[in-house]
Amino acid sequence: MQPAPVSKYRPFPPVLLPGRQWPNRTLAHAPIWCSVDLRDGNQALAQPMSVEEKLEFFDLLVRMGFKEIEVGFPSASQIEFDFTRRLIDEHRVPDDVAIQVLCQCREDLVDRSLEALQGAKNVIFHLYNSTSPAQRKYVFGLEKAGIVQIATRAVEHLKQRSRALVAAGTRLRLEYSPESFTSTELEFSLEICEAVSDVWQPTPADKIILNLPVTVEYAMPNVHADQIEWMCGKLRRRDATIVSLHAHNDRGTGVAATELALLAGADRVEGTLFGNGERTGNVDLVTVALNLYTQGVHPGLDFSDINGIREVYERCTRLEVPPRHPYAGELVFTAFSGSHQDAIKKSWAVQKPDAPWDVLYIPIDPADIGRSYKAIIRINSQSGKGGVAYVLENEFGFQLPKLMHKEIGRLINEVADTRGTELGPQEVYDVFKEEYLENQKTPLALSGVRFLNRPDEVTCEASIVFNGTGLTVAGSGNGPIAAFVRALQDERLRAQGLPKFDILNYSEHSLGKGAEAKAVSYIQIKTDHGRSVYGAATHTNIELASVRAIVSAVNRALAQKK
């Protein structure tokens, strides 16, 4: 990097726009959407899509609800020409969907593109030429008048040569792009757009599309919004014009630039799924559309199976959606942080189906876009007690008492920290099972137990093994748990080191449904050394689940004492 002060780069000049209106507006409806995946996105791929892959992608876009789809550059290559012909000849384009083709402002390319469109029902013919000072100087060697002439001559040629196509029943609309709009003087952008409109003569019933692209992103999003509002306020045929956006993402602000430009008055958005495109890509239509949805504005596109959309995209483009990509990434509905997990769990528990969405840290209901709830909370060394409890409950049905959350959370964190990796749900359960459910063998083990119920008390007789010695102990209490605790207070056990303890908390619930469902019991004990620990156990008999949970707790207390 150049040391300060930086003289190699210049700040982008602001737009003189006193009284700008866009900062005070809100978006209340969706724009017209146009996917350019099959042209702009495809030409940016290291291995372009085959015709069959493009056909599958086209079908996906139609299912999603796109009514305008740029299908290619038919004058640029035979593959692009053949793909356009297959769409038309095989009647793959629904009547309410317009296919859009891109063409440079050259008469021979216009003719070749019209040849590819014979028989189409609904067409947008997209003409473009470069307009910026640098393009005029370095590429074309022309003054402004020469650049305007390139555009108007091509539009006049299209108007004349498309008459036969229109007479045969094709609806043909013109889209014109002053390429490098954001790098072009606004006055000249307006001049060339007006010149094109003068030739085409649009009407409010048959509008021209003026596409004002961020071909390369040089400025902050607010500057782009100023440019769009300036143009919208100056166009003489605004009521006969659809102002279209086509943002690239060189500064990483393509979505923001598009949203602010919509506030500034634009009507239409061109972009790609997941932002595919040259350099850093086009604006991501998935993000722009679902951002609208989270503000209560239906985008008019269907993302209810976003996983399926991502699967087709990744297979056809050979690109991967990053795990942190908004809405569609693998990890975007996943919390590792303990405090976040706890907040998600608590707010989700009180979320009512008919109430406005208000789950902390999750701006959209994953179910609305076909995402699963299961991956929302995942576990690593940064995770908290709430996240672990969430996984155990939602994946395996264990409704841990709240006081037990901290204990199991600390244990899982230690395991994750030791392994240095994320723990999957099964791994979390395996740790829980080993620590609690299977901790009933050493140093205390229960060989058998029998309860005798009397009117005023329960007597327990238990066969146990403690530190390798078999004993039969007995005790009475007001219930099976109290009776078993009394039995474990046998002096012979105390002499061998089994601590005296009291029951602090007890809870239980069924695990599954039906006659074969197990019961799970959670019991917290406090030893005479002041140590409080939980035990847990499952069994089809709730009394046996409870005494086994006590054994689990005692063994855990003895292990911690060591």
The predicted pLDDT at position 380 comes to 66
pLDDT tens digits, 356-365? 999 999 999 9
- Do 426 and 454 belong together in one domain? no
121 token code pair: 């029902």
Q: Is residue 402 part of a domain?
A: yes
Q: Given CA atoms 546, 547, 550, 556 in this order, what sign does their dihedral have?
A: negative
Which amino acid makes up residue 141?
G
The predicted pLDDT at position 340 comes to 83
Q: Under a CB-based contact definition with an 8 Å cutoff, are residues 201 and 190 in contact?
A: no
82 token code pair: 């053949």
pLDDT tens digits, 370-416? 987 655 666 666 666 677 887 898 889 999 998 898 899 889 888 98
* Half-sphere exposure (Cβ direction) of 452: Cα atoms closer than 13 Å: 7
> Which of 257, 284, 317 is at the close of a domain?
317
The predicted pLDDT at position 376 comes to 64
The predicted pLDDT at position 24 comes to 97
Q: How far is CA 414 from the centre of its chain?
A: 30
Distance CA 41, CA 29 (A): 26
- CA angle 233-259-25, nearest 5°? 60
Q: Is residue 246 part of a domain?
A: yes
- Do 139 and 195 belong together in one domain? yes
pLDDT tens digits, 68-107? 999 999 999 999 999 999 999 999 999 999 999 999 999 9
- Do 227 and 130 belong together in one domain? yes
Low-confidence ranges of the chain (pLDDT < 70): 373-385, 562
- Do 236 and 353 belong together in one domain? no
- Do 371 and 428 belong together in one domain? yes
* Half-sphere exposure (Cβ direction) of 399: Cα atoms closer than 13 Å: 9
Q: Is residue 26 part of a domain?
A: no
- Do 295 and 379 belong together in one domain? no
The predicted pLDDT at position 373 comes to 63
- Indicate which CATH number applies to the domain containing 235: 3.20.20.70
The predicted pLDDT at position 164 comes to 96
- Do 375 and 460 belong together in one domain? no
Q: Is residue 148 part of a domain?
A: yes
pLDDT tens digits, 244-276? 999 999 999 999 999 999 999 999 999 999 999
Q: How many domains does the chain have?
A: 3
274 token code pair: 């997941």
Q: Under a CB-based contact definition with an 8 Å cutoff, are residues 496 and 523 in contact?
A: no
- Do 425 and 468 belong together in one domain? no
- Do 378 and 492 belong together in one domain? no
- Do 86 and 220 belong together in one domain? yes
> Which of 392, 415, 437 is at the close of a domain?
437
Q: Is residue 213 part of a domain?
A: yes
Range of the domain at 375: 338-437
Q: How, if at all, do strands 32-35 and 501-511 pair?
A: unpaired
- Do 452 and 397 belong together in one domain? no
The predicted pLDDT at position 384 comes to 62
Q: Is residue 11 part of a domain?
A: no
> Which of 417, 437, 457 is at the close of a domain?
437
Distance CA 120, CA 105 (A): 21
Q: Is residue 3 part of a domain?
A: no
Q: Which residue has the tokens 């576990």?
A: 379
297 token code pair: 């504005």
Predicted structure pTM score: 0.75
**CA nearest 176: which of 135, 132, 143, 212?**
212
- Indicate which CATH number applies to the domain containing 466: 3.30.160.270
- Do 137 and 42 belong together in one domain? yes
Q: Is residue 23 part of a domain?
A: no
